[in-house]
Structure 1
Amino acid sequence: MDHRADGAWFTSEVAAHLDAVFRYFLRRAARRDADDLTAEVFATAWRRREDIPGEAILPWLYRTAGYVLANHRRRMQSIPSSLPDAPLDDDHAQRIADVDEITRALARLSERDREILLLHAWEGLDGNELADALGISRSGAQAALSRARSRLRAVWEPSMQDDGSF
């Protein structure tokens, strides 16, 4: 019997990433949709468990989550905020200004550049994991991340110079 047919393998190896996938959706979709989107990813993972690479489970889940989110957005005909709730701090006004600055800079990037940067910065993917999540080679992922960072700097730096902040 293949170990992937075993519910215990799925629970210990795949479902162990439930919180990470849920947080992925919290940062990219409306809070009310995160549970359903997460459930859809894990239903897909169960159906396609034979396709999940044992050494790259989380990147495979993120890649699947990207497809699920794209399908959800097409169904909803609107794109919800792609930024998470910022952590609370003492200066609420500054936090709002910072989130606004980030939002404006990210909005000026392509969807692909935003996804690469968010997978790297928020999901913590690098190297092979980032490559697996993007469905490209490791060197391709490194190049794509480098280009996305350059484009972010290019759109962010002019806005910082305009108002003297940041």
Structure 2
Amino acid sequence: MTQGATVRDDTWFDALFRSHATQVHRYLARRAPRDAEDLAAEVMAIAWRRRADLPEGAELPWLYRTAAYVLANHRRKHVAMPTDHEPADADDVDPAELVIADDAVRAALTALSPRDRRILLLHAWEGLGGEELAVVLGISRGGADAALSRARARLAAAWDERA
């Protein structure tokens, strides 16, 4: 092990889990509400098995990227993905759910490519900036910034078409 490298043991994983499990769960809950808990557990299990592959300082983007793969695999298995998720308590309403419930916003997002939607939602909902988006998308920082800029422009155009 190189000098200064982090030991990836139970203590390390506990800290990773405490720091990021809620964000991973929220990411999945917005996309697969009924299966989010199981999918988040699968993502964290993969993180444990592949702990040597997690880039130090970019753990959360790596987890989001892994969550996207887990979700894609889940969908390919033809598991029903509900669209009528209702929160148990009005105080627990996620603002992201309110946005998706808005027909105009949903229509504008639907007009975008899946990649543009993914970029915008990672930025808006998960709060990822250029460097983190680059890790999730597997591209350079400049490429991520350009992709976000293009996705924003396409969303603005889709919104204007609805008006």
Could you say which TM-score interval applies, normalised by the shorter chain?
0.7 to 0.9
CA–CA distance in structure 1, aligned partners of residues 123 and 158 of structure 2: 19
1:116 aligns with 2:116: no
Residue 80 of structure 1 deviates from its aligned partner by 4.7
CA–CA distance in structure 2, aligned partners of residues 105 and 113 of structure 1: 11
CA–CA distance in structure 1, aligned partners of residues 64 and 11 of structure 2: 21
Which residue is 1:37 aligned to? Answer: 39
CA–CA distance in structure 2, aligned partners of residues 96 and 60 of structure 1: 26
Residue 79 of structure 1 deviates from its aligned partner by 5.4
Of the candidates 65, 68, 77, which is equivalent to residue 67 of structure 2?
Answer: 65
Which residue is 2:26 aligned to? Answer: 23
Say if 1:105 and 1:80 are closer, same or farther in 2 by CA, change over 3 A: farther
CA–CA distance in structure 1, aligned partners of residues 114 and 146 of structure 2: 16
Higher helix share: 1
Residue 78 of structure 1 deviates from its aligned partner by 5.8
1:130 aligns with 2:133: yes
1:152 aligns with 2:158: no
Say if 1:84 and 1:74 are closer, same or farther in 2 by CA, change over 3 A: farther
Q: Which amino acid aligns with 2:64?
A: Y
Q: Which amino acid aligns with 2:7?
A: H
Say if 1:98 and 1:15 are closer, same or farther in 2 by CA, change over 3 A: closer
Tell me if structure 2 keeps the 8 A contact 1:14–1:57.
Answer: no
Residue 137 of structure 1 deviates from its aligned partner by 0.5
CA–CA distance in structure 2, aligned partners of residues 100 and 141 of structure 1: 28
Considering only aligned residues, what root-mean-square deviation do their CA atoms show, in Å? 2.7
Residue 149 of structure 1 deviates from its aligned partner by 0.6
- TM-score, normalised to structure 2, is 0.83
Equivalenced residue count is 152
4+ residue runs of structure 1 moved beyond 6 angstroms?
95-98
CA–CA distance in structure 2, aligned partners of residues 76 and 97 of structure 1: 22
Which residue is 1:164 aligned to? Answer: none
Residue 13 of structure 1 deviates from its aligned partner by 2.6
Deviations along 1:118-148, one digit per CA (max 9) or x if unpaired, are: 0000000002111111111000000100111
Tell me if structure 2 keeps the 8 A contact 1:26–1:84.
Answer: no
Tell me if structure 2 keeps the 8 A contact 1:131–1:140.
Answer: yes
Of the candidates 52, 61, 80, which is equivalent to residue 50 of structure 1?
Answer: 52
Q: Percent identity of the aligned residues?
A: 58
Residue 26 of structure 1 deviates from its aligned partner by 1.1
Say if 1:139 and 1:78 are closer, same or farther in 2 by CA, change over 3 A: farther
- TM-score, normalised to structure 1, is 0.82
CA–CA distance in structure 1, aligned partners of residues 77 and 18 of structure 2: 26
